[in-house]
Amino acid sequence: MPLLDTSAMDGKLRFLVIGAGQRGVSYANPVSQMPNAAIYAVAEPVNFRRQHFGKTYIWGQDGKPAAGQEFSDWKQWLAWEIERRELEGAGKTVPPGVDGVFVCTLDAMHVEIMLAIAPLNIHVLCEKPLATSLADCMSILGAFSRNPQEKIFSVGHVLRYSPHNQLLRRLLLTDRVIGDILSVEHTEPVGWWHFAHSYTRGPWRRATDNKDGSLLTKSCHDIDFLLWLLSQAPDGADKEIPAHLPKTISSTGALNQFKRSRKPKQAGEATNCLACPYERECQYSAVKIYDDARLAVGHTHWLNHVVHDIEDTLQLSGVDAARRSLYANLEQDYTKGVTPDGEIAKRPWYGRCVYESDNNVCDDQVVTIKWDEDNQSPLYRPGKLATLHMVANTEKECERRGIIYGSHGELSYNGKTIRYFDFVQRQETVIETPDAPEFEQKIKSHGGGDRGLATAFVSAVHAVERKGVEAEEAQGEFVGCTLEDVVRAHAVVFAAEEARRDEKVVHWNIWWEAKTLQYKIESQAV
């Protein structure tokens, strides 16, 4: 195990990124700009992504990875790290390990990775969702809670950390510009082409065994956002004040747009855009989305979902070669009833007709959460209602908006502007929030929330590792929530999905107690 020259990183916190796709880049970019931290290693199975990521954030365009910096997958890194620790324990001189890990793989991989690295006792930021089932979320909670908290744990609930939402929460809970919050209408407009890309053709299109759905994969951080505003006490309040938890949760939703009955008659029996007579007229044409609107105009973001090395091909061989590679992928298709379902399910089909896909997740869903009045704690909190509307066919792409009704005013927000009207003063106030940096706008960084979360996580790790602050204190000060809070927010999503499927109202306290008891019984049996 050869040594690595770490002189350029002396004193900096070192982080590993597992998964060098869009989410890995979203966190690596801000961390690489921090004076006290560095992206030190990457684990990524796709060679082009791994090399591009490494050259951009770790070893430089002309450099080469040294021992401990490049891994083909997370298991290779884990084996290397275990061996490194064993050699270190035996008195051998070894390269330094990392202080923390960013887990940015596909959702279904999270639980295996998290359970495997829990014994390492390392700082972790896991991309949302934490896991695709409540049982798996509870397993992760159990694995990371076996010992007193020594490390920082965070999840990609990035909406908490954008400058816009930080200001929004301060106006609502600290400054109380509209008095008590009584009702919230929050909308997540996914975007007509974005939903088609990710949730109809892409890897998040299928829910299996009641574990997963678009509410979890797309909007679990919207649920967390609502709980952050409506359940969590204001900053500076007594930490002993418990969360104001919901009374009931209900939900309705459906797959309304992306199904065969909606298919235009002009498309006939075509199942692939490249062979469809209606392709030029169809708004969901893969040719229009991936070539006309992207490759043809030099906009390669999102194209690497379709062809992993398309940016490399474009740079080395030109646009014609990149187009051939793109179309070779888009023309790939399957035949229902002939192609095994397992083969269909295990990969995206970006050229597939959106009306002929194997998708089954909701493209339109509403969640309603009700709180009873809390007049028992020192901090009075009124009863209130919140609705989350996740909808696919929108012009706006993930530009969340909402209206909040208070006892003394009304407030609206859209990620860029906050407007509130004071009933008492009969006065309107409008606040424009700053845009995220250009790079972060390009990769859809949730209004700076990705940077905010990465900064909060690294700051918490720095407080623990360099300043000797207790992990629990740093977790509260910088991250602002515990792992238990994270799991509870996920649980609200699973409760909403159960309410939707069973067409019922979930009574939170009863439901949560039953789920917690069930997990304890099952874990003891194992």
498-512: average pLDDT: 97
- Is 441 a residue whose pLDDT tops 60? no
The pLDDT tens digits for 345-375 are 999 999 999 999 999 999 999 999 999 999 8
The pair of structure tokens assigned to 43 is 């684990």
Whether 351 and 326 have beta carbons less than 8 Å apart is answered as no
Note the pLDDT of residue 5: 47
DSSP three-state, residue 308:
coil
pLDDT > 90: percent of the chain: 82
- Is 457 a residue whose pLDDT tops 80? yes
- Is 278 a residue whose pLDDT tops 60? yes
The pLDDT tens digits for 476-494 are 999 999 999 999 999 999 9
Among 434, 406, 435, CA closest to 422: 406
Distance of CA 85 to the CA centre of its chain: 31
Note the pLDDT of residue 4: 45
Mean per-residue pLDDT over the chain, rounded: 92
Q: Give the Cα separation of 255 and 251 in Å (integer).
A: 14
Categorize the per-residue pLDDT at 440 as very low, low, confident or very high, splitting at 50, 70 and 90.
low
Categorize the per-residue pLDDT at 236 as very low, low, confident or very high, splitting at 50, 70 and 90.
confident
Q: Give the Cα separation of 172 and 229 in Å (integer).
A: 8
- Is 211 a residue whose pLDDT tops 70? no
Categorize the per-residue pLDDT at 309 as very low, low, confident or very high, splitting at 50, 70 and 90.
confident
Q: Which residue has the tokens 């997990």?
A: 519
Sign of CA dihedral 96, 114, 57, 458: negative
The pair of structure tokens assigned to 387 is 């609705």
Categorize the per-residue pLDDT at 436 as very low, low, confident or very high, splitting at 50, 70 and 90.
low
- 67 forms beta bridges with none
Statement: the pTM of the whole predicted model exceeds 0.95: no
Sign of CA dihedral 358, 249, 489, 406: positive
Among 371, 369, 386, CA closest to 183: 386
Note the pLDDT of residue 213: 87
Note the pLDDT of residue 522: 81
Note the pLDDT of residue 526: 64
Categorize the per-residue pLDDT at 389 as very low, low, confident or very high, splitting at 50, 70 and 90.
very high
- Cβ atoms within 10 Å, residue 318: 10
Among 107, 125, 128, 108, CA closest to 117: 125
Using DSSP bridges, classify how beta strands 181-189 and 401-406 pair: parallel, antiparallel or unpaired.
antiparallel
- Is 212 a residue whose pLDDT tops 70? no
Q: Which domains does the chain have, with CATH numbers?
A: 159-257+361-525 (3.30.360.10), 260-345 (no CATH)
The pLDDT tens digits for 81-101 are 999 999 999 999 999 999 999
Q: Give the Cα separation of 309 and 322 in Å (integer).
A: 9
- Is 2 a residue whose pLDDT tops 50? no
Q: Which residue has the tokens 């009124």?
A: 382
Looking at per-residue pLDDT, the higher value among 273 and 10 belongs to 273
Note the pLDDT of residue 210: 52
Note the pLDDT of residue 412: 98
